[in-house]
Every structure is written in C-alpha cells, then in structure tokens.
Chains A and B, each alone.
Chain A
Amino acid sequence: TSADYSSCRCQRCYSVRYLRERGMTGHMKRLIAMSAGASMLGRQIVHSDSHHGSLYSRPFIESFEETPMLVAVLTYMGYGILTIFGYLRDFLRHWKIERCHIAREREVQKDFVPLYQDFENFYTRNLYMRIRDNWNRPICSVPGAKMDLMERASHDYNWTFEYTGRVVQDVINLGSYNYLGFAENTGPCADSAAEVTMKYGVGVASTRQETGNLDRHEEMEKLVAKFLGVESAMAFGMGFATNSMNIPALAGKGCLILSDELNHASLVLGARLSGSIIRVFKHNNMQSLEKLLREAIVHGQPRTHRPWKKILIVVEGIYSMEGSIVHLPEVIALKKHYRAYLYLDEAHSIGALGPRGRGVVDYFGLDPCDVDVMMGTFTKSFGAAGGYIAGKRELIEYLRSHSHSAVYATSMSPPVVEQIITSMKCIMGEDGTAIGRERVRQLAENTVYFRKRLREMGFIIYGNNDSPVIPMMLYMPAKIGAFGREMLKRNIGVVVVGFPATPIIESRARFCISAAHTKDMLNRALSVISEVGDLLQLKYSRHRIQPSLARPFDDNVYEDIDD
C-alpha cells in the first residue's frame, strides 16, 4: 500500500511492512552485532543511504541509551527521600516549628476557597525550591556565545534572592537558543534594527487587521515565504501564540489532531483550544502514528462513527528536550497515504538544520510543499521574537482573515521585524556575503564535534547526531542542582531540567550549541563538563566510544548534498 516503504530493508524504519511482518532482518542483526552488546542499546535509530535510498539522503543516527538499572533505582530512592523530607518539613511548617517563607493569603480572604490546593505546591516547596538557583539566572549582556550574569545570593535556602551587585563576566553560554549567533548588539542586523527603532519607534498600538499592518511586516512575510520556498507566509508577535492561536483556526469540531507525545505546550494548548479530538502517538514512533491514522479513518469519530472532517498530524522539527529530529520523510509518506494534513513546528530546527539553514525540510532534502503548515519561530536562530506560519496561498489567506492573532493581537514591533529581515537575508546570502552560509556550516560542525566528544567521554547523550540541542542525562534529582552550580562555578552557563519538563527519572542537562561558539570555547566547556562529570559521576554510558584518531572530524558534514 505505501509504496515508499516496500523496498526498505531496514527494520527500524517503522513501516507498514514492519507492522505486519515483525521479523528481524539481516540489517538489524548486523546493526546489533556491530554495537557489541545489544542489551545495552536503549533505542538507536539508524537510517542510511545504502538501505533506504528513497527516504533518507544521508545517515540519520539517533540514540537514546537505556537508563542503567542501578541509576534508575537510585533516582527513585532520591525522590523517595526528598518526598519523605518534604512531608517532614511540611509537618514542621504546619506546627510552626520551622519558619514558613511562603507568601500568605490576606487575613480578610482566609475564608475564601483556597486559591491553591495544598498538594499542588508540594513539589515546588520541597523539591524545586532546593535547586531554584539554577533557573531564571538574570543576565545583563547580549545572550551570545559568552554572557554576563548578575550574581545572586540567597540566605534562606533559595526562598529569596539578593543581588550582590557583582557581575559574573564572560560565562560561556550553553543555554540560549542562539543557534546561528544572531544574538548580537553590533553588526548589520543591530545597525538596521537601530535605524528602524529611530524611524518607527518600538510599538504599533494596533492589530494587523486594523491599522497595525506596516509595510515592514509585508516585506518580512514575503521574505519568509521565499526563504522557506513556499507560496506565502504570515508572521505573529509571539512564537507560543503562533501555535496556540492558529491551530484553532485550522481544526475544529469533528477534526482529529494526532500529536506527538513530546510536543511543546503551545501545540498542546492550541490543539485543546481548537475543540478537536486529540490523540497522542509515541514520540517519533511511526508505527504508533500509522496505527492511530488507520484506526481513526476506519472507525471515524467516537460514538457517532461519522467520518472525520480532517486529520491534522502535529509534529516538531527538533524536539527541544530530546534533541531528536522528526522522521519527516516517513511522516510525509504516511500523511500522503492517509490524506492527513501535516503541521510542522520548526521552532528549534529553522535556521539550525539543513545545508542552507532552511530547517528540517531542507535537512532531508524534501519539498516544502509536502508540508501543509510550516510553523517556526524567530526567537531562536534569528535572534528576534515571534513566529510564522507558511504554506500555500489559500492557507495564508485564510489565516489573514481568520487568525486570532491578526484580529486581536498587537502586531510585531518594527525593530524586531527588521532583525528578522536582516538575519534572514544574511542566511540566504542576499546581503552579498557568505557569513550566513558560513554560520550554518559552523553550527553543523560544532554540533557534530560537541556530541562526538561528549559521547567519547562516556556521557549518555540523547538525540540525533545533527541536532544542536544536546540533552545529557543526569538522572538523579540531587545532580540537577549540583551540575548547574558546579558548571557556573567554572564559568559555564548550562540549562538543567527535571520533572515535570522531563519524565521523573530522566532529569538532564541541555546544551544548545551555537555557530558563535569558537573551538576554544567548546574545548573549554568540554573539559569542564568532563571534570564536573567525574566529580558527580555522570559518565553513565556503558558503551563508550573510544576516541579514535583514525576518524578525524569531517569538516564537510554536508558535502554529499551540497549544491
């Protein structure tokens, strides 16, 4: 039925055939034999040229090493101990033995229904508060490759912070989504944004449909469409709202939304607001998606069994907590076969993937017209703010007349628009330089290098080899705080995340690689990570790759598909 799959010999390609046969092919056996110790392999997905000609044009390697059993047990124990102490502390607070720092309800409103349920904040109070200093660290410079942090101190175990007035200078920034290094306060982008600020001011004070449709907005949208290679595009003032306010315009009652389980909160909110039925498929699992598609079409809507009006598959380009890349060729094959529509959120992948920086579609060398709704943000690679939706002319015309944002939300600030225009032109090479192209290449090089080195050191790294979002597993709750602090002590700013952003035992640190990082910075960061990794015993990986000089770094990652 789905011809695209039938020739594939790869078992890990979640195909129709796989669903039916469930046999182990020779390729898989070889794969296992190669990675001596198959049981240690959590999830590894390999697609490559040799056996998958039609779908993947270059090797697609993604791994999620299994959590070691001992680590899992210790992690649960950690949470157990924290929970027990949490109850103890709550008990002490209740009887006023321990001083309570939580802001209190006003006396006059004490007899109102409590605004928060008692348990609701247990986690915040007893777990998050202990390591709160790892988040919301205020910065006072450009969020570039290096940044300056305002020094904070807490004298009451993180309940309140005090700014010491000192500045921690030149912290290597592995946290900001500055993939192409366009977070800059000098250079052509900043200069033209400055010019526009003086000409236009920063506000617009009206909506697109009323008197907030500036000529700059129209110019930017044309450029975005050209950049993505689609007919038309529309931009919105906030990336989050681009999803949450436009999905309801595309799907409604009687429609089905198939959503990846790890989709961003904005996509989930948009889907909920739309009033459609939502079904969730396993992360990047094409079998799961296909099963849902088949069942949906065969059985129709719940209870009434009427056929669905339409089915919208919602996926992301790069998943920001997993570092994985969507299996787009397969998703497109499935959507074509089942006549569903595809909504692709490229928040992290636009600019950061593909030989020309045009996102995941470019990365796989696919036709952008096969994606019905291309969504992305300007916050990350472009160093601006806001989001866009691009696609066929009819789609954008419909949004222009029916999008919540266009009708009710103030349009984008002119200097922000200008930043988008100049940075995008730079990536496209329309500014007459090769700077943009060089940055895209540099990012790819940095990414591969950083991932490879981390793996060699024995850390468990999640995600795709080409993804500049690099999650490194910490697992234990105590190590979340320790890692963040130890790294900052050594002047490196990292993002650490735990529950509820990740599954409870899969706490992790996340590095975001930028084209602005120099080799020196990366090496410095790597040696510090290794040092802290030894200190905190984070080198969990059980199939460590030996660093080999025989395989020097491939400078031309994109050589094979460069035009």
Chain B
Amino acid sequence: MASGQQWVLVEMVQAFYEAPAYHLILEGILILWIIRLLFSKTYKLHETYKLTEKEKEDLIEEWQPEPLVPPVSKDHPSLNYDIVTGPPSHKIIINGKECTNFASFNFLGLLDNERVKQKALASLKKYGVGTCGPRGFYGTFDVHLELESRLARFMKTEEAIIYSYGFATIASAIPAYSKRGDIIFVDEAACFSIQKGLQASRSFIKYFKHNDMEDLERLLKEQELEDQRNPRKARVTRKFIVVEGLYINTADICPLPELVELKYKYKVRIFLEESLSFGVLGEHGRGVTEHYGVNIDDIDLISANMENAVASIGGFCCGRSFVIDHQRLSGQGYCFSASLPPMLAAAAIEALNIMEEDPDIFAVLRKKCKHVYKALQGTPGLKLVGVPFAPALHLQLERSSGSRDSDMQLLRSLVDYCLEGQVALTLARYLEKEERFLPPPSIRVVVTIEQTEEDIQKLVSCIQEAVSANLK
C-alpha cells in the first residue's frame, strides 16, 4: 500500500512543476486558509469523551472476547467424515465397505487410468513433486507451458492459463477484471467459488433468477436506463454476466445462445464457469459452447477445473489473449500461489490426449447419463433434479419435513442404506450460513462411463429399497 502512495507522490511532484503560477498562488492561499481553520478555536466535543489512563485500563480489563470458534457438537453432520481407503475410483472403499462409486466426479474414469498414472509417474521421476515457487519465480515448468497450449488448442481459444487449485480459478479470475464500481449480473444458482470471486471483486452484484432470461433482461434494461441518466459513469463501469455451464447446484444447463444475444444487445461481457461441463458436454467435450454450437470467441472468459472429468488437480481459464493474459499479473491465485505440481499437469495433459484420441467417450457418457436419469425418474418420494445429460444429478425429497436438519438426516439414512448395499452416494454439502441462495438438501448421483448396466440397476434398486425402508 505504501508503495502505491509513493507512486502517487511522484505524480504529484510532476504536477507541481507543470502547474501555472496563478494556480500555485491560489493553492497556497487555500493551504493557509486550511491551516487557519485547523488552529482556530472551535467546539471540541471530543474532549469531554477523553478517557483517563485508569479508565482505559479498566475497559481493557473488562473486555471479554468471544471464543475463537464456537464449539461444534460431537454429532454435527459434517464433522465426522467418511473415510475412503484406497483410490476413489470406480470401486471405492468407504468406511471399510467396498462400493460402486456414484459419488466422485470422475466422469470419464480417468482417475485410475493406467496411461495417466504412467505419465504422472514419469513426470515425478523427472521433476519431483512440488514446484517450490510461484510461476514468476522459477515455478514455471515446461509442463505448465505445454498444458496451457494444449488446453488452448483443445478449447480452440487463443490462450489458456492454469491455476493450482480448482476453487481458486474463477474466484481469482472475477476480481482480476471486475473492480469496485463495476457491475456483475449473476445467476442465483451460481456455485460457491463464483460467490467468493464476486465478494473479492467488491463490485456491485445483481442476482437474476436461475436461468430466467427475462429477469436478466429486466435487470439489464434497468441498468441501461441508469446508464443513460449518468453516461459519464457508464463509460467506465464494466459489466459482466457470470454463469455456469452446467450448474453444480441444480444440474441444469445455462441458455447460452440467449445469453450471447443479450451480451451484444446490452454490451455486457460473459464469464462462463464450466467445471462440470468441461470434458462432458459437446461432441469433443469442449463444454457448453460446443453443445450449443456457440462461437467460443463470443464468450469472454471460460473457466473450469481439472478436478472432475480430467481427474487431476487445478483449474484453468481460457479465451482471447487480450483477456486471459491480464491474469498473469492480476490473477491473485495465479501470481501469489505456488504453481501446480508438474506431475499433476502431466496427468492433465495425458487426460487431454485420451479425450482427443477418443471423442466417443463423451457419447458414451451422455448415453449413461440419460440412462441413469431415466432409471431414477419417478423414484417414489424423491425428486430427480437436473437435465438428462448432466453427469451429476440431485435427488431431493419430494416432500420436505419442514426442517432442513431432519431432511438432511433422512437423506443421510438413505445414503447409509445404499452404502450397506454397496452403492456409494453422498449428500451434497453446503455451508448453510454462507450460501447466498442455499439449495435444498439433496443426494448427489454422479454418472461415470465406468458404470455398467448392472451397476445402474443396482443403484436404482438400492435407492428404491432405501426409500421404502426409510420414507413413510
């Protein structure tokens, strides 16, 4: 902060030399006037409030802070984690029980892919594990550069930038562009990392109803009127729409073509979070843009993590160089964090290889998704939420008991029942107090290409049994 002030100082000194004489005289008079005002006698209300040292000591003695953290009850639903022994791949051992995995976002089954492991291993043998530095200070490895160019090529964009943590990707990207005073229009169902990005940007946030383009247009129109009233401010107020491709909280897709139309109509930029749709939607797994056939250049920034379909760690942003390059100096999670371990980048590269070599896997995944969707539809007592091609669906209670806690408990008992039947499911977890719009409690059902016909059959029968045993 101090450095910024000094920078201003340099400018001030320059301005001083450039200013005309009458200006300096006027300013001199003003300064003298201010000094006079400062020293002239006025009411000093504060004096009556002055505390003596003794009073101060007493106040300090009196003050009792709250505990650092409130106590957590022993049976808090999210305190005791399920323990997974061994890899969380197609077969997963949860709390000692071997199950078929319907809970990890390993859509393409790349997590325990032999080729990916071998590449990661080779990279480990060359580079070791950690990078021991941020990208700027000898933390850039040739593997990072390769992964960035491969991602850009895969997505058919000019440039890509990788982050070492999926969550930090969009949360850093948003505040890199949107600053105080700017306006962001965002879908109510946006995931938590978007919410954190919005908060970090300190911009003005306007939420529109989930996937409701009319509501968005209403807000945009309002803003347009506002802009016409104050055109000077409007000229420097950047406007963004932030949406997810497939919403992780609702498992449905954003109406991208309509969003692009609105973008050009109201001159708002679009940021698209594709963590769930990258490597899932579209003929080649490029995500929502490919799914709808939208020109990817019409989207200003696409971000996704490499922790779901790619089954590695980290995230990336891609788009035009004009936009993306800015993050190399302004993306906080990029500049100030150690870079991605090279072996994780190597694993991601190999995953991309597999995705490029065999685009059929996306068709297979879509088929499986539709199959699971159809099979789970109409489960008595439960409501299936999502679109048929979404790989991570939600099962909500058809009738809520009215209390979130008891709903969660009920769903948890369904999950436990399924675990006993060797089907691994999980509750979708949220921070209830922190979410802007808390989604209703639900069980996550994740589809992967490794699940067989029988697995799906077993899932369905397990859930049905669980429902009839627990729901009355």
A residues apposed to B, CB below 8 Å: 1, 76, 79-80, 83, 103-106, 108-109, 111-117, 124, 128, 135-144, 147, 150, 173, 175-178, 182-185, 189-190, 193-194, 197-215, 218, 237-241, 244-245, 249-250, 261, 264-266, 269, 272-273, 280, 294, 297-298, 307-312, 338-341, 372-373, 377-380, 382-385, 394-395, 397-402, 404-410, 412-416, 419, 493, 495, 499-500, 502-505
A202–B313 CB distance below 8 A:
yes
A150–B129 CB distance below 8 A:
no
| Given known A175-B133, A199-B87, A240-B333, contact A141–B127 (CB-CB < 8 A) | yes
Residue among B72, B106, B427, B430 with max Cβ neighbours from chain A (10 Å): B72
The interface residues of chain A lying within 8 Å CB-to-CB of B264 are 108
Inter-chain CA distance A109–B267, complex, in Å, is: 8
Q: Mark B393-429, 1 if CB is under 8 A from A, else 0.
A: 0000000000000000000000000000000101111
B79–A141 CB distance below 8 A:
no
> Please, could you name 13 A-B residue pairs with CB atoms under 8 Å apart, sorted by A?
A115-B300, A185-B125, A201-B113, A203-B111, A206-B105, A211-B94, A266-B336, A272-B202, A308-B63, A310-B66, A398-B69, A400-B78, A400-B79
Q: Does B101 contact A (CB under 8 A)?
A: yes
B351 to chain A: closest residue by CB: A203
B346 to chain A: closest residue by CB: A202
B3–A502 CB distance below 8 A:
yes
* B106 partner, pick from A79, A203, A504, beta carbons under 8 A: A203
The interface residues of chain B lying within 8 Å CB-to-CB of A104 are 322
The interface residues of chain A lying within 8 Å CB-to-CB of B68 are 250, 310, 312, 341, 372-373, 395
What 20 new A-B contacts, CB under 8 Å, besides A190-B125, A238-B165?
Answer: A113-B238, A141-B126, A176-B139, A194-B125, A197-B120, A206-B104, A206-B105, A269-B200, A297-B63, A385-B341, A397-B79, A400-B78, A407-B192, A409-B167, A410-B167, A414-B87, A415-B343, A419-B129, A503-B3, A504-B3
| Given known A203-B347, A408-B167, contact A210–B297 (CB-CB < 8 A) | no
| Given known A112-B267, A136-B135, A176-B133, contact A410–B307 (CB-CB < 8 A) | yes
Q: Does B205 contact A (CB under 8 A)?
A: no
Inter-chain CA distance A207–B81, complex, in Å, is: 10
The interface residues of chain A lying within 8 Å CB-to-CB of B277 are none
Q: Which candidate, B4-12, B286-294, B366-374, B456-464, is the interface stretch facing chain A?
A: B4-12
B63 to chain A: closest residue by CB: A297
B104–A143 CB distance below 8 A:
no
The interface residues of chain B lying within 8 Å CB-to-CB of A394 are 67, 69, 71-72
Shortest B263–chain A CB gap in Å is 9
B69–A212 CB distance below 8 A:
no
B312–A203 CB distance below 8 A:
yes
Shortest A512–chain B CB gap in Å is 9
Inter-chain CA distance A298–B100, complex, in Å, is: 60
A210–B431 CB distance below 8 A:
no
Inter-chain CA distance A294–B72, complex, in Å, is: 31
Residue among B14, B81, B237, B332 with max Cβ neighbours from chain A (10 Å): B81
A395–B133 CB distance below 8 A:
no
Q: Does B210 contact A (CB under 8 A)?
A: no
A239–B116 CB distance below 8 A:
no
Inter-chain CA distance A339–B62, complex, in Å, is: 11
The interface residues of chain B lying within 8 Å CB-to-CB of A413 are 312-313, 341, 344
A124 to chain B: closest residue by CB: B329
B76 to chain A: closest residue by CB: A401
B337–A238 CB distance below 8 A:
yes
Inter-chain CA distance A117–B179, complex, in Å, is: 11
The interface residues of chain A lying within 8 Å CB-to-CB of B239 are 113
A113–B234 CB distance below 8 A:
yes
Shortest A363–chain B CB gap in Å is 21
The interface residues of chain A lying within 8 Å CB-to-CB of B82 are 211, 213
Inter-chain CA distance A122–B410, complex, in Å, is: 58
The interface residues of chain B lying within 8 Å CB-to-CB of A338 are 60
Shortest B301–chain A CB gap in Å is 10
The interface residues of chain B lying within 8 Å CB-to-CB of A309 are 65-66
Q: Mark B190-214, 1 if CB is under 8 A from A, else 0.
A: 0111001001101000000000000
B88–A214 CB distance below 8 A:
yes
B78–A401 CB distance below 8 A:
yes
Inter-chain CA distance A380–B337, complex, in Å, is: 11
Q: Does B217 contact A (CB under 8 A)?
A: no
Could you say which interface size class chain B belongs to? 35 or more
Inter-chain CA distance A206–B430, complex, in Å, is: 13
A408–B129 CB distance below 8 A:
no
B128–A383 CB distance below 8 A:
yes
10 A-B pairs with least C-beta separation? A238-B165, A398-B69, A203-B311, A240-B337, A379-B338, A213-B81, A176-B132, A410-B307, A103-B322, A409-B167
Shortest A333–chain B CB gap in Å is 14
The interface residues of chain B lying within 8 Å CB-to-CB of A408 are 167, 191-193, 431
The interface residues of chain A lying within 8 Å CB-to-CB of B70 are 398
B125–A415 CB distance below 8 A:
no
* A185 partner, pick from B76, B126, B144, B234, beta carbons under 8 A: B126
The interface residues of chain A lying within 8 Å CB-to-CB of B202 are 272
* B116 partner, pick from A201, A310, A312, A400, beta carbons under 8 A: A201
The interface residues of chain B lying within 8 Å CB-to-CB of A76 are 10
A204–B88 CB distance below 8 A:
yes
* A241 partner, pick from B106, B165, B311, B431, beta carbons under 8 A: B165
The interface residues of chain B lying within 8 Å CB-to-CB of A339 are 63-65
Q: Which candidate, B18-26, B32-40, B51-59, B382-390, is the interface stretch facing chain A?
A: B51-59
* A382 partner, pick from B69, B89, B130, beta carbons under 8 A: B130
Inter-chain CA distance A249–B196, complex, in Å, is: 13
- Give B121-176 interface residues, CB cut-off 8 Å to A: 121, 124-133, 135-142, 144-145, 164-168
A504–B7 CB distance below 8 A:
yes
A502 to chain B: closest residue by CB: B3
Q: Does B284 contact A (CB under 8 A)?
A: no
* A184 partner, pick from B128, B141, B322, B325, beta carbons under 8 A: B128
Q: Does B91 contact A (CB under 8 A)?
A: no
Residue among B7, B144, B268, B307 with max Cβ neighbours from chain A (10 Å): B307
- Give B301-343 interface residues, CB cut-off 8 Å to A: 305, 307-308, 310-313, 320-323, 325-326, 328-329, 332-333, 335-338, 340-341, 343
Q: Does B235 contact A (CB under 8 A)?
A: yes
A397–B132 CB distance below 8 A:
no
A138–B141 CB distance below 8 A:
yes
Shortest A161–chain B CB gap in Å is 10
The interface residues of chain A lying within 8 Å CB-to-CB of B110 are 203
A280 to chain B: closest residue by CB: B1
Shortest B389–chain A CB gap in Å is 19
A206–B103 CB distance below 8 A:
yes
Q: Does B97 contact A (CB under 8 A)?
A: no
Shortest B300–chain A CB gap in Å is 8
Inter-chain CA distance A95–B189, complex, in Å, is: 47
Q: Does B85 contact A (CB under 8 A)?
A: yes
Residue among A106, A135, A202, A212 with max Cβ neighbours from chain B (10 Å): A202
A298–B60 CB distance below 8 A:
yes
Inter-chain CA distance A139–B132, complex, in Å, is: 12
Inter-chain CA distance A103–B322, complex, in Å, is: 5
Inter-chain CA distance A135–B68, complex, in Å, is: 40
Shortest B272–chain A CB gap in Å is 16
Q: Does B112 contact A (CB under 8 A)?
A: yes
B111–A143 CB distance below 8 A:
no
B192–A272 CB distance below 8 A:
no
Inter-chain CA distance A243–B71, complex, in Å, is: 21
* B128 partner, pick from A136, A190, A310, beta carbons under 8 A: A190
The interface residues of chain A lying within 8 Å CB-to-CB of B313 are 202-204, 237, 410, 412-413, 416
- Give B234-281 interface residues, CB cut-off 8 Å to A: 234-239, 264, 267-269
Inter-chain CA distance A414–B120, complex, in Å, is: 12
Q: Does B469 contact A (CB under 8 A)?
A: no
| Given known A241-B333, A383-B128, contact A409–B78 (CB-CB < 8 A) | no
* A201 partner, pick from B112, B267, B338, beta carbons under 8 A: B112
| Given known A211-B82, A380-B132, contact A298–B322 (CB-CB < 8 A) | no
Inter-chain CA distance A382–B131, complex, in Å, is: 10
